[in-house]
Each structure stands twice: as C-alpha cells, then as structure tokens.
Amino acid sequence: MKCIGLLGGMSWESTVSYYQALNRGVRAQLGGLHSARVLLNSVDFAGIERLQHAGDWPATARLLAAEARKLQDGGADFLLIGTNTMHKVAPEIEAAIDIPLLHIADATAAKLRADGITRVGLLGTRFTMEQDFYKGRLQDRFGLAVLVPDEAGRNRVHRIIYDELCLGEIRESSRAEYLAIIEALAAAGAEAVILGCTEIALLVGDARAAVPLYDTTAIHAEAAVALALASD
C-alpha cells in the first residue's frame, strides 16, 4: 500500500473528513483491521487565510510548497492538497516535489464524465468560483460547461464557508440558503452541482437537493484510496 501525503488544516474541519474517508475507503477494500497509510501535515490556516484575502498567492505557494516537501521527505508516495481553493497554487507545489500530485478537480471531473454529466454547477470560495484555476480546468481539460451563482449568491456562499463552516458552525438557515442557490443553478440548466469547497459537504452533504451533489472531499479521497492500493 502506498503512503498518502495529505496537506491539510485548510480548514482542519474538512481534514477530519479526509482522514475518515481515506481510512474507511481502505477498510472497505481490504477489510478487517486495515487502515490507510497517511502522512498528515496540518498547517495553521489563519496565516493562509490572511494571504488568500490579501491576494498574496505567491506567498501561499512558497509556504505550501515547503510543507509539501516535508511530506515527500517523510516518505509520502503521492500528495493530496486537502482543499479546493489552494489548488490555485497546485502548479507551484507540483514543481517543488518529485512525487505525483492527485488533483482534486481532475478526480471530480473524471467522476462527472463517467456519470454522463456535461453541465455542472460549482459552489466554493469566491476564488474557486470566479478564477480560472479550477473552473477553467474543468472546462478546458474535461469539456464541462460550468455554472456559478450570481454575485450575491457567490458572496453568500463564500461568507458562510469562512464565517461558519471553517469554524465548525452548522446553521439550518445557511443550509436553506445553499439549497436555494443549488435550486437556482439547477433551474439554469445544471445537471449536478460540485461542492467545490471541502467544508460544504458538512452543511449540505446529506441534504435532499434539486440535483445530485458531488462532494469533492469524498471523491478526492476515493481516488486517493484507489491510487494507494493500485499495484505498481
């Protein structure tokens, strides 16, 4: 079994979900007392968040590249970045290491394509919904048509992520808001919606929505388990 390097802590609430999903996935495949070989480097999110909102992406890239190298040096066979937003600096992180990077958008897009989805809604931080590093990758590499909420909707989705979900707060009023935004995306033609922030599933992952919801944390972890257990 390969060792999974997990760059986490962004936020730690979703890193918990990753750790559970990786171990449950290995147990489901191998049974008994088997669990995943995981090397976790959990960063302090406060500093990352300040750099994000200041737009200082080069600083976040340098910081996370250094942390990724520690996972490689510790014996990880491949890397997961346990957050959608910080895949903005995935190219810089990938360039700093010699082990493979399993990209969250690629894993998600592959599952969407396998399910016959071609037109998809995207929820996430404003960075993920508005910038090309994620949306553009889905469009250019996988031919998916990507819909996002209007500006007011994007602001609400973003605020709830940082002010509530990253702090472990789950509010029924916010769940209702998210479900209404998902319904609007469905009305605009989305066949499914990507929960493109690793915290969002904590809020609506088990909810009955207007269209199927694709939990990127679960999909990313599932792909990591498959890679960890694959024969060389």
What are the domain boundaries of the chain?
A: 4-103+219-229, 105-215
Q: What is the mean pLDDT of the chain?
A: 95
Q: What is the pLDDT of residues 181-213, one digit of tens each?
A: 999 999 999 999 999 998 898 899 878 899 999
Whole-number Å distance between alpha carbons of 216 and 175: 18
Query: Whose CA is closest to 143, among 179, 187, 109?
Result: 109
At the top level of CATH, which class does the domain 4-103+219-229 belong to? alpha beta
> Catalytic one among 15, 60, 108, 197?
197
The answer to whether domain 4-103+219-229 and domain 105-215 are alike in fold is: yes
Q: Which two tokens stand for residue 19?
A: 């750790």
> Catalytic one among 15, 60, 83, 128?
83
> What's the first-to-final CA gap in the chain, in angstroms?
10
At the top level of CATH, which class does the domain 105-215 belong to? alpha beta
The verdict on whether 197 is a catalytic residue reads yes
How much is the pTM? Answer: 0.93
Q: What is the pLDDT of residues 48-61, one digit of tens each?
A: 999 999 999 999 99
